[in-house]
């Protein structure tokens, strides 16, 4: 369940999982269909029983042979040819739909996962109310027995990732940020410009002015980091360990970890506040906005939001405003 942002704290950019409603980030779960129990119809054997003739049939003639019935039975219906058996409906249903259901559950569990954006820390790249499909395979460790088949690749500079927050007090919360530093990179901010390994980054996706938060005044510590002094809302764990990663005024990313930031730089609660993202915490990469519903961050902080009762209560409003509040231009928008 997403956490409510403290007043004045930058947004976390927590993608909510699952349902396409503006609200708590719940994990999308595939719908499970149940096969109906249809009894197979009893088919005719196609062969007359040896011995006595069925009741109502004509008696044998003078030559001891029963009259030929052809392909029709006593009631005029056509009988199946000898050696053929009627195909049970239940058998055909299982053969066709069971693999489909298994594949759908497998894909939704291991390959693709749905999330929802409840905060503006990734504006203008990802908007509040965007519903995403996240590729879970791209950054997964490739298996040794199946190399080169699936699109596995390592995390790169500029990748947008969905991951489990490393903040212990917010265990289970999913965040979405952009990768700025890989293991071994040296990161610093000077007057709001990010420098990586001594070179300034060109970041057309980044917002330099605050959008959707209370950061109305310039923050020298935030614009010149880590040399500008401690940041407000820094977690205790990061405040205690941050110094060991600072060398020559730059933060060095340790092995197996990543430095991430939100595109809405002055309104993002990211690695500057709580440190690095371990490789094991990465879920995947957002690939597609399949639906976008115009909403506000305040809607995601309502008391009780995320409960089933709150979700049921919000659905009538979503359905009523669906045509006017849907951002149709973002439907099937590719995330970059």
- The residue from 177, 271, 292, 311 that is catalytic is 177
**Angstrom distances, CA of residue 69 to CA of 77, 79, 82:** 11, 11, 14
Q: Quick check: helix, strand or coil at residue 106?
A: helix
The answer to whether 286 touches 162, Cβ cutoff 8 Å, is: yes
Buried-state track 215-239, b at ≥16 Cβ within 10 A, e below 16: beeebebbbbbbeeeebeebbeebe
- The residue from 19, 108, 119, 121 that is catalytic is 121
Please confirm, yes or no, whether 119 is among the known catalytic residues: no
**Angstrom distances, CA of residue 180 to CA of 12, 246, 276:** 16, 16, 11
Please confirm, yes or no, whether 177 is among the known catalytic residues: yes
C-beta atoms surrounding 188 within 10 Å:
19
C-beta atoms surrounding 284 within 10 Å:
21
**Sequence-ordered list of residues with C-beta below 8 angstroms from that of 166, at least 6 positions apart, any chain:** 274, 275, 276, 277, 278, 281
Q: Which residue has the tokens 């309502």?
A: 302
Q: Which residue has the tokens 């996706």?
A: 205
Question: Using CA atoms, how far apart are residues 333 and 97, in angstroms rounded to an integer?
Answer: 31
User: Which residues have a catalytic role annotated?
Assistant: 121, 177
């Amino acid at each position: 369940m997403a956490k409510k942002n403290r007043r004045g704290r930058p947004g976390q950019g927590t993608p909510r999982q699952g349902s396409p409603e503006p609200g708590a980030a719940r994990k999308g779960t595939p719908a499970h269909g149940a096969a109906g129990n249809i009894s197979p119809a009893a088919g005719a054997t196609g062969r007359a029983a040896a011995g006595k003739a069925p009741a109502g049939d004509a008696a044998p003639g003078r030559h001891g042979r029963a009259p030929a019935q052809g392909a029709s039975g006593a009631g005029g219906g056509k009988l199946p040819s000898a050696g053929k058996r009627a195909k049970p409906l239940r058998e055909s249903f299982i053969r066709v739909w069971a693999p489909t259901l298994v594949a759908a559950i497998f894909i939704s569990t291991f390959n693709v996962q749905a999330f929802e954006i409840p905060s503006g820390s990734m504006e203008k790249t990802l908007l509040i109310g965007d519903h995403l499909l996240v590729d879970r395979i791209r950054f997964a460790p490739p298996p040794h027995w199946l190399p080169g088949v699936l699109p596995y690749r390592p995390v790169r500079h500029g990748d947008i990732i969905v991951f489990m927050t490393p903040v212990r007090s917010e265990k289970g919360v999913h965040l979405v940020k952009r990768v700025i530093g890989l293991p071994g990179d040296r990161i610093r901010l000077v007057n709001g410009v990010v420098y990586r390994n001594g070179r300034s980054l060109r970041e057309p996706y980044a917002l330099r002015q605050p959008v959707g938060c209370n950061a109305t005044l310039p923050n020298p510590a935030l614009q010149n980091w880590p040399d500008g002094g401690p940041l407000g809302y820094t977690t205790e764990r990061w405040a205690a360990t941050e110094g060991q990663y600072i060398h020559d005024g730059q933060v060095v990313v340790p092995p197996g970890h990543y430095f991430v930031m939100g595109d809405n730089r002055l309104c993002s609660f990211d690695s500057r506040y709580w440190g690095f993202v371990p490789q094991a915490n990465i879920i995947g990469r957002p690939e597609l906005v399949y639906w976008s519903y115009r909403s506000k961050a305040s809607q995601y902080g309502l008391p009780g939001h995320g409960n089933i009762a709150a979700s049921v209560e919000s659905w009538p409003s979503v359905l009523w405003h669906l045509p006017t509040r849907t951002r149709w231009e973002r439907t099937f928008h590719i995330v970059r």
